[in-house]
Structure 1
Amino acid sequence: MTQDNSTGDQPPPEPPARGSMRFQDSNTQPRQPSLAEQRARQQALAQEERDEELARQADAKSATRRKILIGSGVTVGLVGLVATYYTVAKTENVTAVCTDSNGVVQNDDDCDETYVTSHGGYSSGGFLFLPIPGGGYNSYRYNYGGSGAVGQRVTGGTYDAPSSRANVNTKSGKSVQRGGFGISGKSSGSGGSGKSGGS
């Protein structure tokens, strides 16, 4: 008699193929985190919040520093600009002394264009010419910054007219030039026509 082996014995189940995944049953509840895991998570969240707060503070400080630097730069720029303006616009006060062609101090009237023209004289090239009785002219011009009494030679100063920013006055207080305006009796060099002498 032959026995049939196919009825009772089942072949063993095949092992799962390598690399295959098993899926968890949807009815399985996730494991609750342990007390240590919960503490670690809270600490990590707290640390993250602290880091964010520190980053916000650093950004705020940086923005404030930038504003201060920009503000101080603008202030320094404005101060420099104002200082430069006052340096350039500063008015210089110069005293004018009327002299003849020999550099001898004369009365202020002899260098006053209005006075000279009203007495038959004229001005040319920074010199003023007053007629002399009997013919000829005496020439006069201003010395700027010099000093001396009438009848004495002028001491110091120059015959070059100061800049247009300067206020020029005679010793007697007559204004020859106001800063920014024209000048009466401007000097352009030495010499002149006519005989020298007083007025």
Structure 2
Amino acid sequence: MERQEAGTTQPRPPTVAEARARDKARKQAEQAQRAAAEAEEAKRRTRKRVMMGGIAVVGVAALVGGGYLAYRAVTAPDQVTASCVQVDENGNEVVVADEYCGDGKTNFRSDTSHGGGGSLILLGWPQYRYHYGGTPTIGKPPTGGSSVKPRNAEIKTKSGTTIQRGGLGSKSTGGSGS
């Protein structure tokens, strides 16, 4: 057996089989590296497609939700607050507590009664009715608003009593059964 001395001994040239094995190992390493790079690229593309699909779903959902909210905002009934007012013989109005107004209350004149001035005389004084909208202060005349009941509006008193439900189909009318 020969001894090798460091720095002076020359390595022997590789045999043909060793050279082929080295080349084969290098090619396999390159193929494995290419396959890993292709797998990473495919994974990135898939992730990107999934992300784009998710964004598209969220976008469509936002569009549908926004359309629904816009539709509800356009078709939603107005909300109006009704205040009970006392009307004297001269037609002057003064805001009073809600307890004086309502069906079945003494001297309450509903907007659905179409009796006109004649019915006021028959009911006696003072008269009570609702005033819609505006700024009500008890003991003072209402500021703003109207004594005409708004159509297609949700009307509630300050105490929370619903006078009229707003929107389509909210008005119920009596009919005769055939």
TM-score (norm 2): 0.52
Aligned to 1:64: 47
Aligned-residue offset at 1:63: 0.8
Name the CA shift for 1:70/1:105 in 2 (closer, same or farther; >3 Å).
farther
- Asked if 1:170 is matched to 2:153, the reply is no
Deviation readout 1:96-134 (Å, 9 max, x if unpaired): 12456967245668875x459x9898737xx77461337
Query: Aligned Cα RMSD in Å?
Result: 4.8
Decide whether the 8 Å contact of 1:105 with 1:149 is kept in 2.
Answer: yes
Aligned to 1:197: none
Partners of 1:170 and 1:146 in 2: how far apart? 13
Identity of aligned residues (%): 20
Number of residues paired by the alignment? 146
Specify which of 105, 128, 133 is matched with residue 121 of structure 2. Answer: 133
Mark the structure with the bigger radius of gyration. 1
Aligned-residue offset at 1:75: 3.2
Aligned-residue offset at 1:141: 5.5
Corresponding residue SS for 2:93: coil
Name the CA shift for 1:76/1:122 in 2 (closer, same or farther; >3 Å).
closer
Aligned to 2:4: none
Aligned to 1:153: 141
Corresponding residue SS for 1:176: strand
Partners of 2:108 and 2:78 in 1: how far apart? 32
Specify which of 75, 79, 82 is matched with residue 96 of structure 1. Answer: 82
Aligned pairs for 1:1-40 (under 5 A) are 35-40=18-23
Gapped regions of structure 2 (runs ≥ 5)? 1-14, 173-178
Partners of 1:121 and 1:59 in 2: how far apart? 74
